[in-house]
């Protein structure tokens, strides 16, 4: 075998490093997929909380502030019979929206969601840093494997 053929073949250390980088990349993809799923959920819950709270407040305050003039105007505008007592409908809407706001706020405040996003973000950064160390030969493969195990064990991503 010529010198040139030997120089084209990757060494076992290079092959192990490449496999480790691939594994780190796969783990990062899993983490990023988790974050791509959960971050929009947080934004939706924030919007639901704010909007349902605001509309609930308006629905509840309307009859109290506007009185019968407001309820008569709403009945005429929507073509509703006077017997419907629109203020009761507004109070029901306010109650339902307040419940939606409370539920979404509680879900936003759940430790599982918050800790999952924080943990996944930290894990992604640590995996990126580890990949950089491996790629530039700043840590040997055996030590990098142990670091990867430690990172994964310390910061699990919920399913």
Q: What is the pLDDT of residues 101-128, one digit of tens each?
A: 999 999 988 888 888 898 899 999 999 9
> Is residue 9 packed enough to be buried (19+ CB in 10 Å), middle (13-18) or exposed (0-12)?
exposed
* Residue ranges of domains in the chain: 15-154
Q: Is the pLDDT of residue 152 over 90?
A: no
Alpha carbon separation from 157 to 28, 111, 116, 117 (Å, rounded): 11, 13, 6, 8
For the full predicted model, state whether its pTM sits above 0.85.
Answer: no
Write b or e for each residue in 24-38: b if 16 or more Cβ atoms lie within 10 A of its Cβ, otherwise e.
Answer: beebbeebeebbeeb
Contact 20, 148 (CB under 8 A): yes
Q: What is the pLDDT averaged over residues 78-84?
A: 84
Q: Give the number of other Cβ atoms within 10 Å of residue 126's Cβ.
A: 20
Alpha carbon separation from 5 to 2, 17, 74, 145 (Å, rounded): 5, 21, 86, 30
How many Å apart are CA 116 and CA 104, to the nearest integer? Answer: 17
Q: Where are the beta strands (DSSP E) in 6-69?
A: none
């Amino acid at each position: 075998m010529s010198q040139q053929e030997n120089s084209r073949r990757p060494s076992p250390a290079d092959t192990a490093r490449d496999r480790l980088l691939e594994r780190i990349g796969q783990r990062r993809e899993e983490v990023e997929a988790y974050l791509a799923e959960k971050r929009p959920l947080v934004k939706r819950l924030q919007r639901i909380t704010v909007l349902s709270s605001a509309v609930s407040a308006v629905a509840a305050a309307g009859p109290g502030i506007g009185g019968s003039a407001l309820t008569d105007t709403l009945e005429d505008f929507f073509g509703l019979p006077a017997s419907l007592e629109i203020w009761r409908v507004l109070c029901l809407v306010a109650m339902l929206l307040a419940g939606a706001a409370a539920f979404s706020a509680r879900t936003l405040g759940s430790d599982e969601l918050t800790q999952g996003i924080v943990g996944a973000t930290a894990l992604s950064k640590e995996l990126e840093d580890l990949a950089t160390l491996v790629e530039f030969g700043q840590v040997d493969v055996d030590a990098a494997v142990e670091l990867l195990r430690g990172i994964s064990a310390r910061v699990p991503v919920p399913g």
